[in-house]
């Protein structure tokens, strides 16, 4: 951005002193604007990639922590669909992860009793 301001100022000065013609000054300004825009886009891309890498590392750490927990964890999204289920939850309810991940809860609030009923109904369907 500073480059654009400096080149704009130089273009105005050179135009006032008739050092360059108007068309060349405009082309110089447009080129500096494009270069500045590309630099800003590049910096934003680097930041987004870094943030995405940090997010992925945090998600992986979270999943490992949940998996290592001795207690059963079942995590749902806003639509009450199971998004994460650890091995302790598998042992607790006797169902594999894939069976649980396919199921969405229709009742609120989610309690252990409702979860037991749901798993029993899921077992009956099989």
Pair 126, 95 in one domain: yes
Please report the pLDDT score of residue 55 as a whole number: 94
Hey, which of 16-25, 67-76, 99-108, 114-123 has the most confident mean pLDDT? 67-76
* CA separation for the pair 97, 82 (Å, rounded): 10
pLDDT-based confidence at 112, cuts 50/70/90?
low
Q: 32-80, pLDDT tens digit by residue? A: 788 888 999 999 999 999 999 999 999 999 989 998 998 888 887 787 7
With beta carbons less than 8 A apart as the criterion, state whether 69 and 90 touch.
Answer: no
Residue 9 and residue 51 in one domain? yes
Angstrom distance (rounded) from CA 2 to CA 81: 50
Check pLDDT > 60 for residue 120.
Answer: yes
Is the peptide bond between 17 and the residue preceding it cis, with omega within 30 degrees of 0? no
pTM of the predicted structure, to 2 decimals: 0.51
Q: Are residues 18 and 61 in the same domain?
A: yes
Q: Give yes or no: residues 95 and 125 share one domain.
A: yes
Mark whether 62 and 104 lie in a shared domain.
no
Statement to judge: residues 53 and 115 lie in one domain: no
Both 89 and 27 in one domain: the answer is no
Q: Please give the tally of structural domains in the chain.
A: 2
């Amino acid at each position: 951005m500073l480059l654009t301001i400096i080149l704009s100022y130089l273009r105005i000065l050179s135009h006032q002193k008739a050092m360059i013609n108007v068309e060349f000054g405009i082309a110089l300004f447009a080129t500096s604007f494009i270069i500045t825009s590309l630099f800003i886009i590049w910096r934003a891309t680097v930041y987004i990639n870094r943030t995405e890498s940090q997010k992925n590392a945090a998600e992986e750490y979270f999943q490992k922590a949940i998996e290592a927990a001795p207690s059963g964890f079942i995590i749902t999204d806003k639509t009450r669909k199971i998004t994460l289920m650890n091995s302790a939850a598998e042992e607790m309810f006797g169902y594999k992860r894939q069976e649980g991940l396919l199921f969405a809860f229709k009742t609120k609030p989610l309690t252990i009793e409702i979860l037991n009923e749901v798993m029993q109904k899921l077992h009956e369907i099989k």
